[in-house]
Amino acid sequence: MESSLRESCQYTAYRVGTHEFEVKSLETTDSIDLKTRTCNCRAFQTFGLPCGHAIAAINITEFDLYDYCDECFDAERYQDTYAEVVHATLDQTQWHESPKPLMTILPPLAKQPPGRPRTRRTDCELKGGITLQVHLMPKTWSQ
């Protein structure tokens, strides 16, 4: 969020409609809809936090920036997540049996790609097919 706040200083926002804004920078022009929480860069929708473009638009409306953050980032939700105690299990003997049968997960189906399969060549073939022959000298020639 801090990086988006720094980034928003580079943008100029213009109101186009009630909840629609146009945010311009040197390179691009992005459209933001604060009602649906969408932006052309898609960071607003993806992360659930206002992107730099959305922050520039929110700043000219004088609304609270944190009202446009997703619910999962609220302090109440954070506290609810850790409200109950989770007891650790020490070993497998403390595991509970599931009443439902376990589902078998299979690997994805592999399809053979179209076309002829690639040939695999050895290093010798890649170097031009040079074969080296080693001649051993007979023992009678050695001194």
pLDDT in tens, 27-82: 889 999 999 999 999 999 999 999 999 999 999 987 888 889 988 888 898 899 88
Provide φ and ψ at 3, rounded to 5°: -65, -35
Task: Please indicate, yes or no, if residue 142 is contained in any of the structural domains.
Answer: no
Q: Is residue 111 part of a domain?
A: no
For the chain, the domain total comes to: 1
For residues 25 and 11, the answer to whether their CB atoms sit within 8 Å is: yes
Amino acid at 20: E
Residue ranges making up the domain that contains 57: 2-81
In a domain, 115, yes or no: no
Indicate the pLDDT class of residue 119, thresholds 50, 70 and 90: confident
In a domain, 109, yes or no: no
Is residue 45 situated within a structural domain? yes
**Residue 116's pLDDT is what?**
85
> Tokens at residue 41, please?
């860069």
Look at residue 131 in the predicted model and tell me its pLDDT: 56
Establish if 70 belongs to a structural domain: yes
Is 140 part of a structural domain of the chain? no
- pLDDT exceeds cutoff 70 at 12: yes
Distance CA(86)–CA(79), nearest Å, equals 14
Residue 7 has a CB neighbour count (10 Å cut-off) of 15
Identify the residue with better confidence: 23 or 125.
23
